[in-house]
Amino acid sequence: MSYLARSKRSTMTVLLGSLSHGSALSVGDYITLDVDHDELSATGSGTTTLTLGEGHYLASAILAADATNAASDLVDFQLEVDGVLLGAKGGRQPVGKVGSDAAECVFTVPATSTSALRLKITAVGGTVTVLPSYSQIYVRKVTL
């Protein structure tokens, strides 16, 4: 069985980038967003804020972390849109876990508006640094 959700066709566009931070992480830090591929016409590559135009978005970020003490150090992070934390938190937990969970959120930027997207550190335990080679952000957009 198939359903016709809308009579118009939408095209998805994407932004891909890497994440970095110059020192050990602290609560409240924002991560630098370096854009590698941009079909969204976003601005702010190389800063902690990406400015996005109108559209419906799904953003995902995975922050690979190097911990001084892998058995106890942790980090949590969440995407922020216009100063409001949205969606699911991501993080690196120390016990019984390998890797990191992604932070994800869904949001809409209204017509003729822009929004600021950031990745914020919400919790840190121990000494944790970012591994830029393994840290990415993915942003997908469909038009309004």
Cα–Cα distance measured from residue 52 to residue 139, given in angstroms and rounded to the nearest whole number = 10
pLDDT at residue number 99: 64
Cα–Cα distance measured from residue 102 to residue 118, given in angstroms and rounded to the nearest whole number = 14
Domains belonging to the chain, first-starting first, are 14-142 (2.60.120.40)
Q: What is the pTM of this model?
A: 0.90
Residuewise pLDDT in 10s, the chain (144 residues):
344 455 566 789 999 999 999 999 999 999 999 999 999 999 999 999 999 999 999 999 999 888 888 778 889 999 999 999 999 999 987 765 556 789 999 999 999 999 999 999 999 998 999 999 999 999 999 987
